[in-house]
Structures are given as C-alpha cells and as structure tokens.
A and B are shown apart, each in its own frame.
Chain A
Amino acid sequence: MRRFLPIAVAIICGLWVLADFFVSHPLIDSVGAKLLEGVMILAAFALFAGILNLLGFHARRISKDQKDWGYRLVLMVALGGTLIAGIVLPGSGALSWIFGYMYYPLQSTMAALLAFFVVSAAYRAFRLRNGEALIMLITSLVVLLAQLPFSNRISPYLPLLRKWILDVPVTAGTRGIILGTALGTITTSLRILLAVDHPYAQD
C-alpha cells in the first residue's frame, strides 16, 4: 500500500498534467492549474522540511563533535533571526535591513569569488592534454579578447570573428545539447510516468 498509493498518485497526477499540455478543456485546465498550485505549496512545505533538516544537521553536529560550534551557532541564529524578522515582524523593515545590508553584500561577494574560481579552473582546463583542450583554450581566449570594450581597436575583424563563432559553432553546439537533453528528458519522464522508475516510493 505504501508503494502502491504513491505510484498511483504519481501516474494520475502526471497524466492529468500531461493531458493539460495537449488538450484544452475547462475541467482539465482547472484541475491542472490547481495541481500546479499544489506543487508550489508542496515546494514551500519542502522548504520548511529542508530548514528543519538544516537546523537538525547542525544541532546534531554541535552535540556530536563540538567542532565549529561557533559557526554552526551563527548559522542557526541567522536562520532563526531572519525567519522571525520575516514571519513575525513582516512590516518592521527588519527583513529589508537584513536583505540590504547583510544578505545582498554576502550574496554578491560570494558570486564575485567566482572570478577566482574561474581562473583556477582555467589553470586546469587550459592545459593542453589533448586536442579538445586546445580547441577550448583558443576559443575562450578569442571570445574573451573580442569581448573587451576595445577589441575593435585591436582588429575590426575580431568582433566579427566572435560573432561568427557565437552564431555558427556555438549555436550548433547548444542546439545539439538542447536536443539531446530533450531526448533524455522525455525518456526519463516517461520512465516516471509509466512507473518503470519510482524513486519516491520508499519501503
């Protein structure tokens, strides 16, 4: 039963939404829209399950090995504080203060660290182990050079070359990837819809 019911629900909900994709009918549409809203609600609940897991994970680690308890405490306090600011005091401006002066700088600077990581990844990726790496190295350097705001000065053909690279080989490459991914997505979804796979049914 604990396997049968979830599988049945998955198939019924899935086929209903799929029908909604292809057929326009008031009943199918309205139930389909409700199902999609339900997914949104479930995702919100899942987020709270995730937050509980995050708290539990760090509480457990604190009690288990006491290592890094300070950091973990900071995490838990920040989480709790933001939640309280957002849920208990929604109109107080506390959340926007936290967003503006803590969350935004942290997030944008974490994103800025990508610059370091891209360079250290380039250190590995630019190594000419084989022909593939050579092609990648040349393409990325050319595209990067042509991206500079004064690339026109270096050579008027450089932006044209970049445009051609992006227009033809890169478009072909991304299109091929998208097509392949679509094929994979379709068969994987069919596996779930036809219950060949049911990773959600835990024993």
Chain B
Amino acid sequence: MIVCPACSHRNPEGAKLCEACGRSLANFVYRVCPSCGALNSAQHVFCHRCFAELALAEGEEPIPESTFVRPYTPPIVTLEEEVTTQAVHREAKAQASETGARPTSEALPGQTPSEAELGPRAAAPISEEQAVAPSMEGEMGEMPASTEEALSPLEAAESPEVLGGGPVGAAGVETPAVQVAPPDETQALTPEAAANPLEGLDDLLPFEPAVTLPHRPSQHVSAAPSTTEDYEAELFQQVAVERAPLQEGAQVVLPRTAQGLPQIGRTILYILVLLAGVLPLFTWGQMSSFVQPRESVLALVRTIEELPSGAEVLLSFDYSPTYAGELDPLALAVVRHLARRSVRMVVMSTKPEGIGLAEAIYRTITEESPDYRYGEHYVLLGYLPGQEAGLRSLNTALGDAFKIDYLQKRPLGELSATSGLATLKDFDQIIVLSDDSLTVQRWVEQVQAQSDIPFHALVTSAVEPLLVPYQRSGQLLSLIPAASGAVEYELAGSVKPSALFRSDAYAAFFVLLLVVALVTNALYARRGKRGS
C-alpha cells in the first residue's frame, strides 16, 4: 500500500502516481508493521515503534537510503486542505503578494493547481528561521496550537515517530531547501492516521492505544496489506464510523425454524376458522338436536323454575364489551327465563361498561314482552365502584351503595321492584355474569361467604376452569361456561332460542382444531424424517 502523502489516498502496491490526486508516488512508500500495525517509511528495516522486523513483499528489495528524498511538506497541504477555510487561502495569497515572492512551483513537478497557489507562501524566504518553517506563517492565526507544537527540524529528524524524518542531509539534493519543512506533530501523524482504519474510533472502542502494547510476535507476516485487505479495512471504517449500523430500514432475517407457519398457511387457517364461524348460517343448527344440557345448567333452570312469582334476584353484569360476544347470549337466555317466571330483577355491575351492556339486554326483553316494565319488574342500579370495598358495602345496606337507580335517577324506595329491599339478604338468588375469575372470587369471599345466599356464576369458558374449586366446595350452586351454556340453557329452560344454532359452529371448530393437531404433527414428522 502506498499512502499518498498529499491527499492520504491509499493506492495499490506498485502505483507510480496517486489515483486520487495524480501526484507522483515514487518517493513515498510506507510499510505497515506486521506486528503492531504502525506505518513505517519504506527504507526502515525495523519498525520504528515496536522494532519488529519489517518483512518485504516478494521480489521487493529494500530501497537504499541514499535514494530517499524527504517528502515535500505533504502534511501541511493536507492540513491546509482539510482544516483551513477559504479565508485562510485569501490571507495566504495576500501575504504572498505582500512579500512579492514569485511562486516556485515550477520546481515541483506534479503539483496540483491548488498547491501551486499555496506555493508562494511556502516558498517565501524571509529569514533563516522562517525558511525552516515557512509554511507555518499563513496559519499562525488559525492554528496556534499546532504551531506551538511544531518540532524543530532537528527534533523531527531525531524523533522516530515522525514520518519522513530521515537525515536532513539527504534531503536537499533535488528539491529546494524550503521543502525541508519540519512537519508539526499533527501533520506528521496525518498519513499514519489516514491509513489507520480505526481513525476516529478512539472514543468508540475503549482499547488501550496500540503504542502502549508490548511487542507481540505475529504468526501472520505480510509486508503490506493487500488490495483486498485494504478494501476491507476501508469498508470496516465506513461501517464503524456510521452512527450505528443498520439504523434505518434494517431487515430482520427471520430464523426459519422459529415460525413454522408461513403466511399462506396462516391465511388458509384463518379462512377455515372463518368458515367454521359462518357454518351455522347455512346449516342452521343441524347439531342442535343432539344438545344435552349438563347438570350445572339444569340446576340453574330448576332453581329459577322453583322461584315464586315476585321473588327478587340480583344480577351483576360484570363483564366488558370484549367478552360480550360470549356472555350476552347466555345473559339473554337467563333474563328471558326470569322474565317469563315474572321474577323481579335488580341489575348492577362492578365494571363501568357492564351496566350499558345490561341495558341493551333489557331493551331486547322489553321489546319482546312489553308488559315487563322498568321499575315494576326490573331495575338497573348502576355501576358499583370500589371492588372489594364496594361489595362489602352491599352487605350492610343496599341504599348506601346505590342511592338512585341508573335509568330514571329515582330513589330506590320509589321503585316497586326495589322498595322492599334493604340489604343483600333480601335477595333470593344472586347471579353474576363475569369475564374474570377475580371478580367471582371477590363475590364469593365478600358476599356469598357473609350472607349465604344461593349464588350462581355464569362465566366465560376461559375462566371457568379456574373457578371449579368454588363449585366443588359448594359456594357456587352453578357454574356455567357461557358459550356452550347459552345453547344448553335455551334448550333446558325452553326459552326463545337465539344461540341454539351456534352448536354447529362449535362442532366445526372442534373438528378444525383436531385437524390442525393432526396436520401440524404430520408435517412435523415428515420434516423430522427428512432432517434425519
């Protein structure tokens, strides 16, 4: 690799002119130390930093020192180009014209026009001292720090750290003396830094600087990085310097094993589920003749059948719209049954949305049987906040929890359905419709355990398994999962059927799940066989 001293472009091995700026590279060959990675002048046999032997590329001969020429103030130009602004250039020009010096750029073959422009300033010999570091002048104002740190030529020659710091005497043969400019420290390091792929990463990678590393012999010995390595280093630098890799639009490569079900299979599955759902709209309840109510449903139906006319039942609609799809049909069936038996219903909710859902159910009921009237036969009390504390307050006095009703905002005493009610103990049955097990548990603990009123829970199929222990202990007289419960209840209570025909869909759904279980295992077994 040859680093162009002017523009820091890294040219391939053997290049004569810089690819980027076109300047001659004849005298500027740098060699990377295989051990520590430091950049060395081509004439070095040992690394200036770690003293490892610098191997030569095949067929390459060490360049005799005598042929070496000190580099032409390269870092200055680099710095100028990179750091100084147009203003500096203008200032420099002005200075040049003041001194009246002629550009000496003719003496420098391969110079770019911009360099030529800067030439006069570099070449302006004012005094012996200034001739040593003439190029500094133009930058004085701009870069005081670097000037202060500038090394004297002697120091530069002695310091192994400074590149191109060869013997001063060897310099002035072909080039003008002015070019023997001592690069300041920053400048001197510039080529190395430019060639260092980790440049600018000091703050990202908390490694100790390579300088402090002791010498480590390396297995891998190569004279200089190959073009490929070079390219890779460049790529690495590009990648590493970016703020964070793959920031935008990064695509996740999904592990194939993680999914198992491609989108097309998913779509097919979903369509099948949809078909199972719409099936009863076409078959219209073929399976309903097979429906056989189970014990829990029959128990509730019997209880309601045995209630005397005018008995008081408390219903709590403790479910949210999310689960209304499952609980509404059962609620409708039970309320229809209760209305047929002309039982008085008092309705409340411990969830804010529940009372609205109850209102919708009762609207349907009053449409069906107009002589079943609000206030006389049923009352909506409203939403009871406060969870446990709220339920406890029901035990002491109903009027404390609900002062007025929900629909007509009248005191409970004015409504005939609630006029005789003082506490929970005045109810004959309590029916709770709920979509979470915690609510039912609260009812059991705070109300049922205190008052011993017959207590029924109508819940979603999802939470039913969690409440079975309460039924076993006898605290729940009946526990009905709503989906199948609605179908069974309509048959057992012989109320107007509206959910009965859904039994087809439930059967289809079960068959679908069975097929899914078979298919997934068949595919799995086949893949397993292929894999082995």
Point out residues on A near B: beta carbons under 8 Å.
99, 103-104, 107-108, 111-112, 115-116, 119-120, 122-124, 126-129, 137, 141, 143-145, 147-153, 159, 163, 166-167, 170-171, 174
Shortest CB–CB separation between residue B16 and chain A, in angstroms? 48
Q: Which chain B residues lie closer than 8 Å to A129 at the CB level?
A: 524
Does A141 lie within 8 Å of B517, measured CB to CB? yes
Q: Which chain B residues lie closer than 8 Å to A116 at the CB level?
A: 269-270, 273-274
A-B contact pairs, 28 of them (CB 8 A): A99-B356, A103-B321, A104-B321, A104-B324, A111-B322, A111-B323, A120-B266, A123-B519, A123-B520, A126-B521, A127-B520, A127-B524, A141-B514, A141-B517, A143-B465, A144-B513, A147-B481, A147-B483, A148-B484, A149-B292, A149-B487, A150-B287, A150-B291, A150-B507, A159-B294, A163-B468, A171-B472, A174-B466
Q: Which chain B residues lie closer than 8 Å to A126 at the CB level?
A: 516-517, 520-521
Does B513 lie within 8 Å of A167, measured CB to CB? no
Give A166's nearest chain B residue, CB to CB. B468
Q: Which chain B residues lie closer than 8 Å to A141 at the CB level?
A: 513-514, 517
Convert B476-507 into 0s and 1s, putting 1 for each residue whose CB lies closer than 8 angstroms to a CB of A.
Answer: 00000101100110000000000000010011
Q: Which chain B residues lie closer than 8 Å to A112 at the CB level?
A: 325
Does A108 lie within 8 Å of B291, measured CB to CB? no
Q: Which chain A residues lie closer than 8 Å to B510 at the CB level?
A: 144-145, 148
Point out residues on B near A: beta carbons under 8 Å.
260-261, 265-266, 269-270, 272-274, 277, 287, 290-295, 321-325, 356, 461, 464-466, 468-469, 472, 481, 483-484, 487-488, 503, 506-507, 509-510, 512-514, 516-517, 519-521, 524
Does A111 lie within 8 Å of B468, measured CB to CB? no
Does B322 lie within 8 Å of A107, measured CB to CB? yes
Task: Say whether, besides A119-B516, A141-B513, A167-B468, A148 and B269 are in contact (CB < 8 Å).
Answer: no
Shortest CB–CB separation between residue B525 and chain A, in angstroms? 9
Residue from B274, B324, B517 within 8 A of A137 (CB atoms): B517
Q: Which chain B residues lie closer than 8 Å to A166 at the CB level?
A: 464-465, 468
Does A119 lie within 8 Å of B468, measured CB to CB? no
Shortest CB–CB separation between residue B221 and chain A, in angstroms? 50
- Please report the C-alpha to C-alpha distance between residue A151 and residue B292 in the assembled complex, in whole angstroms: 8
- Please report the C-alpha to C-alpha distance between residue A152 and residue B292 in the assembled complex, in whole angstroms: 6
Does B520 lie within 8 Å of A124, measured CB to CB? yes
Does B517 lie within 8 Å of A167, measured CB to CB? no
Shortest CB–CB separation between residue A149 and chain B, in angstroms? 4
Does B269 lie within 8 Å of A123, measured CB to CB? yes
Residue from B269, B324, B465, B512 within 8 A of A170 (CB atoms): B465
- Please report the C-alpha to C-alpha distance between residue A103 and residue B353 in the assembled complex, in whole angstroms: 12
- Please report the C-alpha to C-alpha distance between residue A127 and residue B524 in the assembled complex, in whole angstroms: 7
Task: Say whether, besides A149-B506, A174-B466, A119 and B512 are in contact (CB < 8 Å).
Answer: yes
Give B485's nearest chain A residue, CB to CB. A149
Shortest CB–CB separation between residue A93 and chain B, in angstroms? 13
Shortest CB–CB separation between residue B49 and chain A, in angstroms? 42
Q: Which 9 residue pairs of A and B lie closest in terms of their CB atoms, listed nearest first?
A: A152-B292, A150-B290, A166-B468, A149-B487, A126-B517, A149-B484, A111-B322, A149-B291, A116-B270
Does B513 lie within 8 Å of A150, measured CB to CB? no
Does A167 lie within 8 Å of B469, measured CB to CB? yes
Shortest CB–CB separation between residue A48 and chain B, in angstroms? 18
Give A143's nearest chain B residue, CB to CB. B465
Does A153 lie within 8 Å of B292, measured CB to CB? yes
Task: Say whether, besides A126-B521, A149-B487, A174-B466, A119 and B294 are in contact (CB < 8 Å).
Answer: no
